[in-house]
Amino acid sequence: MEELENAINKLVNSNTQIIVNPETFKKMVAQGLPISYAEPAPVEEYIPKLFETRKAKALEIIRHLPARSNFAFPSINALYDEIYECIIFGLNGAAITLCSILVEFALKQALYFHENGNSFTYNPTLFEKLENITLGPVIQRVKESSLIDDDLAKRLMSFKDDVRNPYNHYNTKKITKNVVANNVRVLNINTHKVETVTLEAKESPMIHAQAKRVVDREMVLPVFLFADMIVRHLFAKIDT
C-alpha cells in the first residue's frame, strides 16, 4: 500500500492532471488506500485569480473576433452578445453551441423575412411553421429561395453534421474523435508500475471531457467566424 501511495503522490507532485476510472477508484478504496480531498480555495481568493487569468486570454483573443455589428433583428444581436461573452470568459464549448444556434436562427429569420414579403409585420402562421422545421430542411428551403448557393448549402450541411449536432447533443465521442493524447502515464494499481501510452480519445471515454476542452479551444474562433459569415451573407441578401 505504501508503494502505491508513493506512486500516486509522485504523479500528483509532478503537477499532472489525474483521471481515475470509477471502477479503479472503488478498488483503491476497498484496498484501504487513504483518500483525501483538497479544500476548494475561498471564493474571495479564487474569483480574483480566475478573472486575472481570463483577462489576459481575453485581451489576446478579442483582437481576432469579428467586429460587432447591429443587425435589424434584436435577437440576432443578443446572440452575438452572448457568444462574445462566452469566448471572453473562456466558455468555448458554450460559445460553439451558441454559434450553431445563431446559424440556425439566422437562417430561419432570413427565410421568414423573405417569405413574409420583406416585411417585419408579424405573421404568426409563417413564424410558427418555420419554428418547427429542423435545420436540414431549412437549409434546403433557404437554398431554394436563392439566399444561398449550392456551395454554401453544402458547407451548412457539413456544419450541421460536424458541429451543430454533436455539440447540441453533447456527443463527446464525435467531437473528440480526432484527438490523440501522447505520453500519457498510466498507473497500474496492482503492479504499481507506471506505463507511458498513447490514447485515442474515440476509444477512451475517460478522457473525453479533457479532450473536448482542447477541441473547443481550437474550434471556437473558426466556428464563430463561419457563423458570422453566414449571418452577414444572409442579411446582405434581404432588403432590411
pLDDT in tens, 90-140: 999 999 999 999 999 999 999 998 988 888 888 999 889 888 899 999 999
Q: Residue 42 domain-assigned?
A: no
Predicted pLDDT of residue 84: 94
Cβ contact 106:234 at 8 Å: yes
Q: Residue 60 domain-assigned?
A: no
Predicted pLDDT of residue 49: 85
Report helix, strand or coil for 63.
helix
- Does the pLDDT value for residue 6 go beyond 80? no
Q: Which grid cell sits at 216? A: 473547443
Q: How many domains does the structure of the chain reveal?
A: 1
Q: Residue 149 domain-assigned?
A: yes
Grid cell 474571495 — which residue? 44
Look up residue 67 and give its DSSP letter. Answer: P
Q: How confident is the model at residue 141 (pLDDT cuts 50, 70, 90)?
A: very high
Please give the Cα distance from 191 to 172 (Å, whole number). 31
Highest mean pLDDT among 53-57, 192-196, 232-236: 232-236
Q: Residue 157 domain-assigned?
A: yes
Q: Counting Cβ atoms within 10 Å, is residue 79 exposed (0-12), middle (13-18) or buried (19+)?
A: buried
- Give bridge partners of residue 196 from the DSSP assignment: 185
Q: Residue 232 domain-assigned?
A: yes
pLDDT in tens, 33-88: 777 667 778 888 888 888 888 888 888 888 888 887 788 788 999 999 999 999 99
Q: Which domain holds residue 106?
A: 72-170+206-237
Cα radius of gyration rounded to whole Å, the chain: 24
Q: Residue 65 domain-assigned?
A: no
Element spanning 199, H or E: strand 194-200
Q: Residue 86 domain-assigned?
A: yes
